[in-house]
A = this chain, B = another copy of it.
């Protein structure tokens, strides 16, 4: 099953952009009358019939709308400091999308070696991973913000978890904390050099629960994916 993406869906008309049109018509050789599936990136899949097979601008007519296609039963924001090696962050975005994440928020910590991050490529990766894993919702990739700003701007009512390494306070295993019911989960993962003690203290003072991911020493992106997998697996239990 091949999913196309469109951000130009009005009433029963779906328009594919030139890139998607070329993929649909030139690469996959779809013809007028073929049925195709298009996602809006916001959770709805549209079963359509191709009406204009133009490799520069294809049009399709909506046959059926399927809301929540490929959705997961939780809302997860992963706030993860960019890794020195950007490939590892891109890998995280791809894998987290496959497993199930709603927002990837790059955050810059005091000890982050990488202070800038281009989000455009990450957004393309999230889109292609969502299509590949048959999800109609594409995770949002936020623009980078500072760790302190992110901590202070987090919404009320979310279960807010911060993973860090130093042992100044007791940190519960994430598996225990995830037993608490919450509509939204937010997880904050630090840079290679970890959060600064001030960042960790600010988080705790603002309701973030210190958690640990077990005895293994995990790289930033592995810790982040382990947290995504924990939320995903625990949603199977609920």
Show the binding face of A for B, using Cβ within 8 Å. Answer: 70, 72, 91, 95, 98-100, 132-135, 173-176, 214-219, 222, 225-226, 229-230, 232-237
Taking a contact as CB atoms under 8 Å apart, the answer to whether B217 and A134 are in contact is: yes
Q: A175-B236, A229-B229, A229-B233 are in contact. Are A222 and B134 (CB under 8 A)?
A: no
Q: In the complex, which residues of chain B have a beta carbon less than 8 angstroms from the beta carbon of A237?
A: 173, 175-176
Q: A175-B233, A230-B229, A233-B175 are in contact. Are A216 and B99 (CB under 8 A)?
A: yes
Leading 9 A-B pairs by shortest Cβ distance: A229-B229, A173-B236, A133-B217, A214-B236, A134-B217, A98-B222, A175-B236, A175-B233, A100-B216
Taking a contact as CB atoms under 8 Å apart, the answer to whether A216 and B91 are in contact is: no
**Distance (whole angstroms) from the CB of A233 to the closest CB of chain B:** 5
Q: In the complex, which residues of chain B have a beta carbon less than 8 angstroms from the beta carbon of A91?
A: 91
What are 6 A-B residue pairs whose CB atoms fall within 8 Å in the complex? Answer: A72-B216, A91-B91, A174-B236, A175-B234, A175-B236, A229-B233
